């Protein structure tokens, strides 16, 4: 009966109740989203690369190198010579070295020139290797392996031909039409930027940039000559070491290497630095959403408080019918709870819907892989906190009702 | 056991003794030395405004608590018991009809009546009883599901009677219920009210300043004869 009374009372004030509900809905959604993005981003960042001991590229900042080599964001400011890659491959401490060349795209998806070794050595998450969901690695220059999202979004299958464009934009004015690539393999989803990448061989990258005549000549040559084509420059090299203890020694060596201007970074350290940078932004966001939440709760309390004046008559009637002052207090708290709980539920649905809708955009533009499952343990705790806070703020009008109850007269 | 209980027989609905009440220290106090109401009495209480009619009703309903003296309701201490106890006694044994605004506007007629039953901890049988009362008050069935705000004032006052009587209270307090009604509606209202109270043998205290209504009652009490207003001792 108390619940029904509260519900009916709320319905009779539906305009102000609806506005309060909306303000709560928005602030709870912001709170949930910020926390969700934070935890998911941390997860998706740290799982992006695994098993790589050093990333070697041209000197810039370590974040810049990390971003373009692993997250496919931004572009290399400079290149390193192919001979440096040869040097790394022959280095005693190096177990494997995988070259990467960036700078082209296929319909907005970055193209990564590399060697077939990439598919065996590049790991993600908790040392998980890349797995082909169909087909296999490329063997010929004009063959490509695409990530799971590329295949899904563009509807490609093994055997399809694709044309790569110059530059990394979604729209390009220069297409390498003469050199179409055939898809030989599709990778299983990883939840990392690999899903958004078109992988081709270094030779393929080199070949498609050739003038038409040279390209025809190259393609008619024997496959051995084709595979011997070596680019002059590459963007970066991913390196795995025989002995992890040699990491810092090798890093210092490479940074002081005389043959080329090189910079070596530890992906773990760079990720941590990136994360630290994000953390301060994220703390600010969290604080702001907390404040927005608080102001919404005060709005709820204000709405209920304002209604107290209209309700003096109602309170007198309830008192006469035998309602105790405590019952009146409970009535207001129940009203606040109804609004807050329904706002919590609605914002769960809203954020779930939004993340389902925009997960692709987030992944494409920001490299953030966010799952739509918003109800994480942390968010459950946050929601519980919101409910408790609404209980507390609703005590302000509730105590008013209690006092009114004590002083109500016929 | 009998020694402790004030000298009131079980037939007494209300027994007031040495009651004194003031809204605050500077306000004049309301003094009622003794008043007993027997079961089944129907009393017309009249007096000029400012004589303390409303104060007396609030005291009898247990909304106000006297600073001195006692009120017993059905031989039970009413003014001296705990607040929660008093709320419960009020819910179960006292019905009240006001001048106007008796009903919760956003609830249906039936829910308004159910609310009274809920606070008196009545079970499901309340609904049946409610329809029975609505019939006796010549209100059609369909009105039960209407929102209270859609009713005319005359209908609202009749629903207020139904609500006041749903718990079969021993005491009905009525405060100028006809002030917003025209003469015809007033007569209909009065006869419905008194017939129902007679049928249930309900004790009624009817407060009004309208002498025309006095004819409905055999027992009339002038408030001035009952109550003295004492000025505060230290007038500044």
pLDDT band for A208, please (50, 70, 90 cuts).
confident
Q: Report pLDDT for B9.
A: 46
| 3-class secondary-structure state, position B229 | strand
Mean pLDDT confidence for A325-346: 93
Domain ranges for chain A, please list them: 1-46+278-407, 54-265
Among B107, B146, B166, the strongest candidate for a mutation testing the A interface, having the largest count of A CBs within 10 A, is B107
Per-residue model confidence as pLDDT tens digits over A216-269: 888 888 777 777 788 888 999 999 999 888 899 999 999 998 888 899 999 888
Q: CB neighbours of A7 closer than 8 A, spacing ≥ 6?
A: A338
CB contacts, 8 Å: B105 with chain A: 12, 314
d(CA A256, CA A129): 32
Q: What is the pLDDT of residue A189?
A: 87
Residue located via tokens 């790991």? A123
Task: Report the predicted TM-score, pTM, of the whole model to 2 decimal places.
Answer: 0.75
Banded pLDDT at B5 (limits 50, 70, 90)? very low
pLDDT at residue B3 is higher than 60:
no
Percent pLDDT > 90 in chain B is 19
Location of structure tokens 């290149």? A79
A217-231, A335-349, B152-166, range with the lowest pLDDT:
A217-231
A53: its two tokens: 């001991």
The set of residues, in sequence order, having a beta carbon less than 8 Å from that of A318 and lying 6+ positions away, is A327, A328, A331, A405, B104, B115
Q: Which of B40, B98, B46, B41 has its CA nearest to residue B212? A: B46
Best residue in A315, A316, A322 for a mutation probing chain B (most B CBs within 10 Å): A322
Q: Residue B23's CB: how many other CB atoms inside 10 A?
A: 11
Structure token pair of residue A355: 């993340």
Quick: pLDDT tens for B189-218.
888 889 889 888 899 999 988 888 888 888
Residues 6+ apart with CB under 8 A from B46: B207, B208, B209, B211, B214, B220, B221, B222, B223
End-to-end CA gap in chain B = 47
Percent share of chain A, pLDDT over 70? 97
pLDDT at B124: 78
Contact B119 A12 (CB under 8 A): no
Q: Using CB atoms, pick whichever of A5, A8, A324 lies closest to residue B84.
A: A324
Are A15 and A306 within 8 A, CB to CB? no
* Predicted pLDDT at A410: 66
CA distances from A251 to A49, A98, A265, B1 (A): 18, 16, 7, 98
Q: In the numeric block, which tokens belong to residue A25?
A: 């809905």
pLDDT at A368 over 80: no
Q: Do B90 and A320 touch (CB under 8 A)?
A: yes
pLDDT at A322 over 80: yes
pLDDT at B10: 58
Choose among B61, B101, B115: nearest Cβ to A1. Answer: B115
Tell me whether residue B125 is exposed, middle or buried, using C-beta atoms within 10 angstroms of its C-beta: 0 to 12, 13 to 18, 19 or more.
exposed
Q: Count the Cβ atoms, other than its own, within 10 Å of residue A88.
A: 25
């Amino acid at each position: 009966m108390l619940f029904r009374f509260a519900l009916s009372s709320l319905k009779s004030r539906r305009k102000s109740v609806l506005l309060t509900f909306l303000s709560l809905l928005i602030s709870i959604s912001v709170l949930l989203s910020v926390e969700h993005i934070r935890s998911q981003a941390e997860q998706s960042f740290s799982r992006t690369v695994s098993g790589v001991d050093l990333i070697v590229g041209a000197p810039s900042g370590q974040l810049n190198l990390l971003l373009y080599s692993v997250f496919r964001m931004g572009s290399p400011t400079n290149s390193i010579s192919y001979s440096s890659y040869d040097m790394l491959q022959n280095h005693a401490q190096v177990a494997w070295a995988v070259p990467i060349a960036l700078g082209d795209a296929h319909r907005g998806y970055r193209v990564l020139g590399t060697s077939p070794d990439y598919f065996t050595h590049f790991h993600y998450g908790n040392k998980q290797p890349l797995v082909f969901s169909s087909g296999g690695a490329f063997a010929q220059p004009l063959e490509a392996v695409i990530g799971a999202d590329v295949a899904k979004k563009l509807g490609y299958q093994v055997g399809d031909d694709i044309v790569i464009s110059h530059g990394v934009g979604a729209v390009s004015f220069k297409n390498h039409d003469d050199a179409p690539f055939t898809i030989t393999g599709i990778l299983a989803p990883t939840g990392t930027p690999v899903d958004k990448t078109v992988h081709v061989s270094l030779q393929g990258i080199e070949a498609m940039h050739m003038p038409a005549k040279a390209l025809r000549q190259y393609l008619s040559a024997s496959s051995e000559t084709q595979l011997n084509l070596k680019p002059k420059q590459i963007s970066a090299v991913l390196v795995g070491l025989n002995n992890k203890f040699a990491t810092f020694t090798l890093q210092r060596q490479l940074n002081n290497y005389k043959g080329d201007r090189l910079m070596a970074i530890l992906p773990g350290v760079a990720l941590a630095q990136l994360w630290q940078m994000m953390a301060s932004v994220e703390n600010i966001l969290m604080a702001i959403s907390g404040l927005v939440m608080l102001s919404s709760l005060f709005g709820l309390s204000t709405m209920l408080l304002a209604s107290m004046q209209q309700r003096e008559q109602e309170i007198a009637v309830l008192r006469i019918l035998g309602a105790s002052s405590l019952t009146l207090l409970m009535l207001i708290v129940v009203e606040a709870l109804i609004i807050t709980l329904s706002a919590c539920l609605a914002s769960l649905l809203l954020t779930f819907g939004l993340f389902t809708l925009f997960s692709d955009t987030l992944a494409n533009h920001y490299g953030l892989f966010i799952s739509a499952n918003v109800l994480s343990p942390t968010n459950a705790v946050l929601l519980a906190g919101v409910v408790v806070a609404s209980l507390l703020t609703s005590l302000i009008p509730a105590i008013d009702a209690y006092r009114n109850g004590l002083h109500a007269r016929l | 056991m009998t020694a402790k209980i004030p000298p009131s027989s079980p037939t007494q609905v209300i027994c007031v003794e040495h009651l004194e009440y003031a809204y605050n220290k500077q306000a004049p106090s309301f003094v009622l030395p003794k008043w007993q109401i027997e079961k089944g009495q129907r009393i017309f209480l009249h007096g000029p405004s400012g004589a303390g009619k409303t104060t007396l009703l609030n005291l009898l309903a247990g909304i106000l608590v006297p600073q001195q003296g006692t009120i017993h309701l059905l031989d039970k201490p009413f003014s001296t018991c705990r607040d929660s106890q008093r709320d419960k006694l009020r819910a179960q044994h006292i019905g009240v009809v006001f001048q106007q605004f008796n009903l919760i506007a956003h609830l249906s007629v039936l829910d308004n009546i159910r609310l009274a039953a809920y606070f008196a901890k009545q079970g499901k049988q309340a609904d049946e009883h409610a329809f029975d009362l609505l019939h006796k008050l010549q209100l059609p069935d369909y009105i039960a599901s209407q929102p209270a705000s859609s009713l005319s004032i005359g209908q609202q006052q009749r629903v207020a009677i139904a609500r006041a009587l749903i718990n079969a209270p021993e005491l009905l307090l009525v405060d100028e219920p006809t002030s917003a009604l025209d003469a015809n509606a007033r007569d209909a209202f009065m006869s419905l009210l008194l017939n129902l109270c007679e049928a249930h043998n309900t004790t009624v205290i009817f407060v009004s300043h309208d002498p025309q209504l006095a004819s409905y009652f055999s027992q009339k009490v002038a408030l001035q004869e009952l109550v003295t207003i004492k000025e505060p001792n230290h007038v500044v």
